[in-house]
Amino acid sequence: KAGVTQTPRYLIKTRGQQVTLSCSPISGHRSVSWYQQTPGQGLQFLFEYFSETQRNKGNFPGRFSGRQFSNSRSEMNVSTLELGDSALYLCASSRDISWGYTFGSGTRLTVV
């Protein structure tokens, strides 16, 4: 059974650029959430999508955005990158919260 797939695994971008990260959830999972992990702040919720609609959003600036497609695949976009955006970005999908959210291996973004 395929897990949550995130691409790319590693990314280096320059300050001011924009980036798009991709997430393919487990088949049958309609809820997809995105998290940012940094050493100082830990795991922080970015946003959640369910059936192509953003259902919830964390406390991140508008430079962070996302979307979900009809096949449940999701993308997140960060515009005007800042050095502080360097982090591990994790995507998670779920069928139901009682089964937990399954996380992908993440995309390591480095902004230089």
Nearest-CA neighbor of 14 among 78, 62, 105, 76?
Answer: 78
User: Of residues 11, 13, 22, 58, which one binds another protein by CB under 8 A?
Assistant: 58
Question: 2 in helix, strand or coil?
Answer: coil
Please identify which residue in 2, 28, 83, 98 interacts with another protein, judged by CB under 8 A: 98
Q: Is 110 in the site for another protein (CB under 8 A)?
A: no
What span, in angstroms and rounded, lies between the C-alpha atoms of 87 and 46? 13
For another protein, the binding residues (CB under 8 A) are: 4, 31-33, 35, 42-45, 48-50, 55-56, 58, 90, 92, 94, 97-106
